[in-house]
Structure 1
Amino acid sequence: MTGRKFRTALALGSAMLAAAAVAPIAAASTTGVVWERCPDGSPQGYACGHLDVPLSETALSDQDTDGRKISIALAKLPATDPAHRLGTVFYNPGGPGVPGRFAPKELMASLGGKFDLVGFDPRGVGASGALRCFTDPRQLETLRGATGFPISAAQDRAQVAAAKTVTDLCAANGDELMGHLSTASVARDLDRLRAAFGEPKLRFYGKSYGSVLGQTYANLFGDRVGALVLDAVDDPINWSTGYRPSDAAKPFSFRLDAFPDAQRALESFLRSCAAATECAFREPGTDLLAKYDGLLDRLHRGPVTATDPETGKPLTVSYQDLVSRVHNGLLDTAKAPALARFLQAVATADEGVASTADATIPTPVDSLLGGAATLCSDSLNPRDPRVWAGFARVADRSGRGFGAYDTYKSLPCATWPALDPGRYTGPWNRPTAAPILLIANRQGDPETPYPGAKRAEKALANARLLTLDTYGHGSVGKSACVDSAAQGYLEHGALPARGTVCPPDRGPFD
């Protein structure tokens, strides 16, 4: 269906549902939210605050079980069309471990401008009760060795040891918070935010991990689902347990099976490159996938020194650097020209000497570890870290480099010392008061694969998948067709026709 036909059909559907549309309402009062000055350096136009929530509670009880509270930091971006304001949309950007207080202002336009946007830092992240594992700044060096992915047996042994050191530090220094960071606990916080803002039903936009949060909320609080837009959708069953008992023996990041989609995104990028004279990696008459594989072969033997095409400075590039840069470059087609320049710089690079001068510790560290606690609380994983290497080799057969990159993301879960007793692992098909809109990219998503979104559509009790015909991670803001669908759904409950495929507004080298 073309974008024009789709918008026409959506307009007709919206007209039919006009009687059920929400009338414009004034800004709701809040109960329990403490409003305060935004931190220095915050983006302009937001109102900041926090809501105190129980540290611990069960899925079946609304009672505080231990008396301790934590504060959930939040920020509100007022509707840009206040005369037609329809309520509040809550926001999660993904992760886990990513702060989400300040919802992007561009998202306001994509969702229609008739809703206040409320973002929040999930518990354990950013300004919401960060998890602290380190007592000495020198311990941060251990974290450097625990991230990334190895390509040799010696590197694997070193990474396993480093990951175990980090999880031991968390066991020794982390407090009660570490055992209450599952997505189910975040979903209960989200429900308290909904109530605090006076919303009888939840409207929510969640991207990537935000789709897991949305699906968890829908199955814990199905009668409170108003409109959930879940963009870049993860499969909740593979995220948590897998489909078979034997899946518990596989790392959850292997179960998610994103590496074949990363390979499909790469091949889509290379096809666009071959057809675009603007693509720096283009070489007429050359198989660009073979050219790329040649880079991997070369880097597997050792790093090279390239000239950074963006800064003009020398840049040491290892095998892992290349895979990571390519993976990140495939998250958005707008990055295609820069990715092509980087690949060509590596293709013409001199042999180099390995250097760690540009290596950095992921920051902020506390949020990173809070995200790890969420991942490891949510999912079943092997308890023997030595098995990750074998799964990485298997994964690399479907997406060279991407397989190991993905598989090792969950290595800390092998020795993670705490689980959330209130975590949720299914069922995922509990009834909801309203259908759920899922959105995914069918030419390859390196983080949340398209087949996983299709499985999520089947797993949920009432969901509809809208497809964007491109590669990348996330669809809202990249297609007028997708944005129109999201707006119609949030404002009127109108869903696109089953099987609808939207075109992107622009291609990788447009």
Structure 2
Amino acid sequence: MQSRKAKQPIRTARAAWLAASAVLLSLTAPLTAAATTSPPALRWSECAGQGLDPRQRCATVEVPLDHADPSGPTIDVVISRIPAENPAERRGVLLLIPGGPGGTSLADPSGKGQRLPQGVRDTYDLVGFAPRGMAPSTSVSCGLDRADLATTRLRPWPAADGSVTETMATARRMADACARNGGELMRHISTADEARDLDRIRAALGERRLSAWGVSYGTYVGAVYGQLFPHRVDRVVLDSNDDPDPRRVGRGWLAAHERGVEDVFPEFAAWASAPGNPNRVAESADEVRPLFLRLAARLDHEPIPWPGANPEVLDGNVLRQAMLDSLYSPSRFPALAKLMLAAGNGTVPPAPAAPPESVLQNVTAVGAATLCNDVAWPTSADAYQREVAVSREEYPLTAGMPRNAMLCAAWPHPPKQAPVRITDEGPSRFLLVQNVRDVATPLSGAQRLRAALGGRAVMVTVDSTGHDVYLTNGNACGDDTVSRFLETGIRPAEDAFCPREPSVG
């Protein structure tokens, strides 16, 4: 058990974390007495890290290690803030909820927050935070072997023949390391815990309500917060939306990649076969998919050494993972094309840069704890083997990975509570924005969140490609709709559609 002040020596790690992050990316519950009492005044100080807006300041909010024991041990959650630029127009705070799980928004007031329209920046204090477990908040690590930090281990790709035997062994090894090295905090990292931390942040800031912009996994956090504290939400934008299915939660998000890849790959194929493209891989779009599948199958049996990468080999699953990563945004398409061209010639490009190992350990631990603590995963290898076989047949591009066993299959701790069920009970203060083609949070899952929220939400569907819609991979129609809502509270009267914009050039 951790000491009453469950803190770690995190101050010296703060600068390294922030620098790396610039490269990386139940039913409604009543407010607890602890959430409504007057908190101590926040002590704002300079934020550690490089490239931050000089206006951004940081502070620490003390929260319970276990929200079921509010008078017990505490941990720190570090927050950041840039004040509203027009105090006369100030409405409150806009909380920037990061994706992940395993993401942080601590630098976002200085980063993506500065891309917000002037009217939004005039209206809100921009507030970011490092969720519980993420440095420089009280942090965790599983102390995994370097090989187990490879993305192809963290995303459970089956063997070339579809076997899950090795991934089950990996799951046991990684889960054992997390249980051995993660400490008590690992048992108290979940979406519900994060949502309750957000209400502590709200109270510490002295706000009656929170406005928020949640992206990817942050949409689920935002929805859960709105379910637990419905009268504490003001204007909430949920961007690139997770399926809230309480039976599956993170299992469903992983499975969604097979649909997401099928939605986006045709866009890559059209781009990668376009005349004049210096990274053209085929003469026609119809050739790109079979070319990719043949290349991945060849690399399954004839991998190419890749010094400096993790793993230090380009095999079929490393190519498939690179494909999945590259479909997050059209701006990443060239990386996949270049890798395919190199591999087709029996070579590899320079190894991709990786963040410091300490950052990878931290991100991995928080992501694992959240996914595994939110909902119980099957523990039987046979259950995963059956699902992987079906997935490989129906979705060959992802080769069974989305239904395979990650370390949650061997997680030693049962969930503390059932996942929060998102319902249509509560004020109507949500605006969902969603691209038609999104590899990580496909439209089908966003539609389920929209249905769960019912009359509490309006959804704007944007005929665009990529993960993260607002100000990134959407279009002017969608961006203008979101900006208007944040500035004025005006939403479309009903669900709306933003048509595809013509290509420029």
Q: In structure 1, how many angstroms separate the alpha carbons of the residues matched to 2:499 and 2:210? A: 29
Q: 1:389 to 1:228 in 2, by over 3 A?
A: same
Q: 1:284 to 1:233 in 2, by over 3 A?
A: same
Q: In structure 1, how many angstroms separate the alpha carbons of the residues matched to 2:186 and 2:307? A: 43
SS of structure 2 residue aligned to 1:406: helix
Offset of 1:164 from its aligned partner? Answer: 0.9
| Per-residue Cα deviation, 1:337-390 (whole angstroms, up to 9, x for no partner) | 34333333333x2279xx999999684302311221111111231022453333
How many residues were matched structurally?
453
- Name the aligned partner's letter for residue 470 of structure 1: S
SS of structure 2 residue aligned to 1:117: strand
SS of structure 2 residue aligned to 1:257: helix
Question: Which of these residues, 102, 105, 109, is aligned with residue 115 of structure 2?
Answer: 109
Q: In structure 1, how many angstroms separate the alpha carbons of the residues matched to 2:227 and 2:190? A: 15
Offset of 1:306 from its aligned partner? Answer: 8.8
> Are 1:498 and 2:498 matched, yes or no?
no
Partners of 1:281 and 1:343 within 8 A in 2: no
Q: 1:450 to 1:387 in 2, by over 3 A?
A: same
Identical residues among aligned pairs (%): 28
Which shows bigger deviation, 386-395 or 208-217?
386-395
Partners of 1:31 and 1:197 within 8 A in 2: no
Q: In structure 2, how many angstroms separate the alpha carbons of the residues matched to 1:504 and 1:110? A: 22
Q: In structure 1, how many angstroms separate the alpha carbons of the residues matched to 2:79 and 2:446? A: 29
Q: In structure 2, how many angstroms separate the alpha carbons of the residues matched to 1:79 and 1:184? A: 29
Partners of 2:154 and 2:406 within 8 A in 1: no
Partners of 1:97 and 1:125 within 8 A in 2: yes
Offset of 1:209 from its aligned partner? Answer: 0.5
- Name the aligned partner's letter for residue 449 of structure 1: P
Q: 1:385 to 1:506 in 2, by over 3 A?
A: farther
> Are 1:33 and 2:42 matched, yes or no?
yes
Question: Which of these residues, 383, 401, 407, is aligned with residue 412 of structure 1?
Answer: 407
Write the mapping of 1:181-220 to structure 2, written as runs, cut at 5 A. 181-220=189-228
Aligned to 1:221: 229
Question: Which of these residues, 69, 72, 77, is aligned with residue 72 of structure 1?
Answer: 77
Aligned to 2:34: none
Q: Does 1 or 2 have the higher relative contact order (CA < 8 Å, sep 6+)?
A: 1
Q: 1:436 to 1:306 in 2, by over 3 A?
A: same
SS of structure 1 residue aligned to 2:423: coil
Q: In structure 2, how many angstroms separate the alpha carbons of the residues matched to 1:370 and 1:474? A: 21
Q: In structure 1, how many angstroms separate the alpha carbons of the residues matched to 2:307 and 2:147? A: 27
SS of structure 1 residue aligned to 2:203: helix
SS of structure 2 residue aligned to 1:469: strand
Aligned to 2:130: 121
SS of structure 2 residue aligned to 1:191: helix
Ranges in structure 1 where 5+ consecutive residues have no aligned partner: 1-28, 243-247, 309-314
Q: 1:161 to 1:176 in 2, by over 3 A?
A: same
| Per-residue Cα deviation, 1:269-317 (whole angstroms, up to 9, x for no partner) | 2123334522522533562222222222322332246999xxxxxx952
> Are 1:325 and 2:330 matched, yes or no?
no
Question: Which of these residues, 83, 100, 103, is aligned with residue 105 of structure 2?
Answer: 100
SS of structure 1 residue aligned to 2:460: strand
Q: In structure 1, how many angstroms separate the alpha carbons of the residues matched to 2:283 and 2:495? A: 36
Partners of 2:149 and 2:364 within 8 A in 1: no
Q: 1:436 to 1:369 in 2, by over 3 A?
A: same
Partners of 1:263 and 1:402 within 8 A in 2: no
SS of structure 2 residue aligned to 1:290: helix
Which shows bigger deviation, 278-287 or 47-56?
278-287
Question: Which of these residues, 334, 338, 342, is aligned with residue 337 of structure 1?
Answer: 334
Ranges in structure 2 where 5+ consecutive residues have no aligned partner: 1-37
- Name the aligned partner's letter for residue 76 of structure 1: R
Offset of 1:31 from its aligned partner? Answer: 5.0
- Name the aligned partner's letter for residue 342 of structure 2: A
Partners of 2:239 and 2:468 within 8 A in 1: yes
Question: Which of these residues, 437, 441, 450, is aligned with residue 448 of structure 1?
Answer: 441
Aligned to 1:132: 141
Offset of 1:219 from its aligned partner? Answer: 0.9
Offset of 1:259 from its aligned partner? Answer: 1.0
Q: In structure 2, how many angstroms separate the alpha carbons of the residues matched to 1:414 and 1:489? A: 41
Q: 1:373 to 1:32 in 2, by over 3 A?
A: farther
Q: CA RMSD in A?
A: 3.4
Q: In structure 2, how many angstroms separate the alpha carbons of the residues matched to 1:32 and 1:387? A: 51
> Are 1:487 and 2:494 matched, yes or no?
no
Partners of 2:293 and 2:397 within 8 A in 1: no
Partners of 1:372 and 1:412 within 8 A in 2: yes
Aligned to 2:65: 55
Q: 1:82 to 1:284 in 2, by over 3 A?
A: farther
Q: 1:54 to 1:32 in 2, by over 3 A?
A: farther
Q: In structure 2, how many angstroms separate the alpha carbons of the residues matched to 1:351 and 1:485? A: 46
Aligned to 2:29: none
Q: In structure 1, how many angstroms separate the alpha carbons of the residues matched to 2:462 and 2:352? A: 39
| Per-residue Cα deviation, 1:465-508 (whole angstroms, up to 9, x for no partner) | 1112122111011322222111211222211253422256785x
Q: 1:92 to 1:397 in 2, by over 3 A?
A: farther
Aligned to 1:292: 292
The TM-score with structure 2 as length reference comes to 0.80
Q: In structure 1, how many angstroms separate the alpha carbons of the residues matched to 2:358 and 2:384? A: 22
Q: 1:398 to 1:89 in 2, by over 3 A?
A: farther
Q: In structure 1, how many angstroms separate the alpha carbons of the residues matched to 2:273 and 2:394? A: 22
The TM-score with structure 1 as length reference comes to 0.79
Partners of 2:256 and 2:440 within 8 A in 1: no
> Are 1:170 and 2:163 matched, yes or no?
no
Q: 1:293 to 1:262 in 2, by over 3 A?
A: same
Which shows bigger deviation, 337-346 or 120-129?
337-346
SS of structure 1 residue aligned to 2:280: coil
Partners of 1:32 and 1:51 within 8 A in 2: no
Q: In structure 2, how many angstroms separate the alpha carbons of the residues matched to 1:81 and 1:295? A: 55
| Per-residue Cα deviation, 1:119-141 (whole angstroms, up to 9, x for no partner) | 1111111222212333xx8x445
Partners of 2:99 and 2:217 within 8 A in 1: yes
Q: In structure 2, how many angstroms separate the alpha carbons of the residues matched to 1:241 and 1:132? A: 27
